[in-house]
Amino acid sequence: MADQVVLRHVTKQFTTRTLGTITAVNDFNLTVYEGECFSFLGPSGCGKTTTLRLIAGFEDLTDGEIELCGRLVSSKEKNLYVPPEERGLGMVFQAFAVWPHMIVFDNVAFPLKIQGINKHDIQKKVKEALRNTSLDGFESAYPSDLSGGQQQRIALARAIVTNPKVMLLDEPLSNLDPKLRETMRFEIKELQRKFNFTVIFVTHDQSEAMAISDRMMVCDMGNIIQIDTPINLYNRPVNRFVHSFLGESTFINVIIQDGKVYAKGNMEQALDIPIPPDVDREMVIATRPNAIELTRNRGYKTRIEKRTFLPDITEYLVPMGDQLLKVQTPHRIKFTQGEECYINLVNPMWYPAEDKELETERLRRQLI
């Protein structure tokens, strides 16, 4: 697979009057391959949208370089900046951005008209783009007469009509209702398969990202935290942040003493898990509520504090040391409130103890 989008040491800084200089994107290095669906995932203020806008050319970078389909489009060193209209990309925005003063046909035909293509071909290509986005019949409607989902389809049709190699999607589904979101997700995937373009998809919705992506990048506070396939990101997150960002997490503060692991607040009963090399005295172990075993015979002895019956699972709150663990089981595993039980942690991840400063910085950035 050929490299399609390459970022080398890309950095973007903004200067704001109230907060001084903010590094929105800090030394990003990444390669997106041809035909790949690649997601940027992270909380707001993490730098994902800025990165996309750097690729699109709406922002000029502070340092580094960007290559699109083998062509250098932004480079600090060579003082090169190609404006967005010359980058040959397709892009879909969160707020649809369909032009309210043009009918559907003109919206979709706009990029072709700019290219100076003859009328006959425009007719043909627009028709096809509208058919591919199930919009046939709406050619002469104004966007304001259509629903949100249809408006987003116009934006999609407009983006695919020039047959671009790279498609940038900036949270394209977050203005739609949940049901429609799933359909559109599927349709985007279909279009990608059909036209074989490369997709870069920005989202803050983890399940959306996991469902659609071949690989994804999780970033936080302007830094790339991890780039990997959805499965690896879920099973082997590099830090607590990624762990809690993808799926539900249960964190347990533990103390290691005399080669044994104790949950904080209970130094009498050790946990039966192997200790990895290089651990501090205080650590955090992380697992998923559905990966904790709840039994009646062996493991860490405790009791059920609270039971909640939910649509697909039963959720228990179980004390461990001075903390309450959330445990999720299928309905067939039944415990009653107050009942004695044993829990086992299966293959937990180990992380250093909490870092308060990081949290403050994250909050500060979200305020921008």
Partner 1 sequence: MKLFTSVMTNKHNLAAMWNTIKIAFWVTICGTLMGLFYAWLLGRSDIPCKGLMRALFHIPYMFPPFIGAMAWDILFSGRGGYLNTWLMKTFNLPRAPFNINSLGGIIFVEISYFFPFVFMQVVSALERMDPTLEESARIAGASQGTVIRKITLPLVTPAISAGALLILISSLAHFGVPSILGFSKNIYTLPTMIYALISRSSGSFEGIRQGAALSIMLIAVVGIALIIQKKVLSSGGYDIIKGKSMRPTLIKLRGAKYPLLIISTLTLVIIVLMPLVTIFLVAMVRAYGLPLIPKNFTFKNYSKIFTSKATLDSIKNSLFLSVTAGLLCMFLGVMIAYVVNRIKPKGKGILELLSVLPYSIPGTVLAVGVILTWSGSLGINLYNTIWIILVAYLARYLSFSMESASASLQQVHSSLEEAARACGASHTESLIDITLPLIRPGMIAGFFLIFLPAMRELTTSVLLYGPYTRTLGVQVYSLREAGMIPQASALASVAIIIITICNALITEITKSRKGV
CB 102 → partner 1: shortest distance, Å? 8
| Cβ nearer to partner 1, comparing 69 with 242 | 69
Binding region for partner 1 (CB under 8 A) out of 4-12, 85-93, 236-244, 343-351: 85-93
Count Cβ atoms below 10 Å from residue 148 Cβ, excluding itself: 12
Binding region for partner 1 (CB under 8 A) out of 87-95, 187-195, 217-225, 248-256: 87-95
Instruction: Give backbone dihedrals phi and psi of 209, rounded to 5 degrees, phi first.
Output: -65, -45
Determine the 3-state secondary structure of 206 from DSSP: helix
CB 110 → partner 1: shortest distance, Å? 5
Does residue 80 bind partner 1 (CB under 8 A)? no
Binding region for partner 1 (CB under 8 A) out of 68-76, 83-91, 271-279, 329-337: 83-91
Residue whose pair of structure tokens reads 């959805």 in the numeric block: 230
Among residues 1, 80, 100, 301, which is the contact residue for partner 1, using CB under 8 A? 100
Q: Which tokens belong to 37? A: 């669906």
Q: What is the dihedral angle through the alpha carbons of 260, 289, 245, 236, rounded to the nearest 10 degrees? A: 50
CB 158 → partner 1: shortest distance, Å? 7
What is the sign, positive or negative, of the torsion defined by CA atoms of 220, 362, 55, 194?
positive
Count Cβ atoms below 10 Å from residue 233 Cβ, excluding itself: 27
Does residue 195 bind partner 1 (CB under 8 A)? no
Site for partner 1 in 134-193 (CB under 8 A): 144, 155, 158-159, 162, 168, 175
Does residue 105 bind partner 1 (CB under 8 A)? no
Alpha-carbon distance 185 to 319, whole Å?
40
Does residue 199 bind partner 1 (CB under 8 A)? no
In angstroms, the Cα distances linking 89 to 55, 57, 99, 117, 188 are 9, 10, 18, 17, 16
| Cβ nearer to partner 1, comparing 118 with 336 | 118
Give which of 154, 210, 161, 155 is closest to 182, Cα–Cα: 210
Among residues 110, 195, 342, 350, which is the contact residue for partner 1, using CB under 8 A? 110
Where on the chain is the footprint of partner 1 (CB under 8 A)? 56-59, 83-91, 93-101, 110-111, 114-115, 144, 155, 158-159, 162, 168, 175
